[in-house]
Amino acid sequence: MKKYIYLSAIILSLYSCESNTYESIEEPTVIVGKVTYATNVKSIIDENCIGCHASGGQLIPLTTYTEVKDALVNKKLLDRIQLQNGTSGQMPKAGRMAQDKINTILQWNIDGLLEK
Ligand code: HEC
C-alpha cells in the first residue's frame, strides 16, 4: 500500500512539473545561459527592424550578425532602442519594443555579442 502512495506522489509531481513548463513558455522569454545573436537576437531584429533596415535599401542593413553587431558598436543601436516614445531617433520608429526584448539586446552586449 505504501508503495502505491509513493508512486502516486511521484506521478503527481511529474505532472506538476510538466504544467509549470507549459506556463513558463507563455511568460516573457527567460533566457538560460548566454544570449546569442542566432538564438535570441535575430528574431527580434527580423520582427521589428528589417521592414526598414533590409539589405540593399537606403538605410543601414540589419540582416546579418555582422551588420547588427556593427550597428550596436558604431551606430548607437542600444541608445536608439531605449529612447522613450516620441523622442526623435527612437527605433523602431513606431514605438519602443517590449522591455524584455530591449533587455535581451542589452544582455547580448553584456554577454559579449556572441554569434551563436
Ligand atoms: C519604420 C522604419 C524603421 C524601423 C521599423 C526601424 N528603423 Fe532604424 N532607422 C530608420 C530611419 C529612417 C533611420 C535614419 C534616420 C535616423 O537616423 O533616425 C534609421 C536609423 C537607425 C540607426 C542609425 C543608423 C546610422 O547610420 O547612424 C540605427 C542604429 C537603427 N535605425 C536601428 C534600428 C533598430 C535596431 C530597429 C529595430 C528595433 C529599427 N532601427 C527599426 C527607420 C526605421
Residues 59-95: tens digit of each pLDDT: 999 999 999 999 999 999 999 999 999 999 999 999 9
Write down the pLDDT at residue 4. 63
> Which residues form ligand 1's pocket by a CB distance below 6 Å?
48-49, 51-53, 59-60, 71, 75-77, 80-81, 89, 91-93, 97
pLDDT at 99 over 70: yes
The pLDDT tens digits for 19-41 are: 444 544 456 667 789 999 999 99
* Cα dihedral 47→28→70→39 (10° resolution): -80
Write down the pLDDT at residue 16. 52
CA of 47 to the centre of ligand 1 (A): 13
Torsion 45-68-114-34 (CA) sign: negative
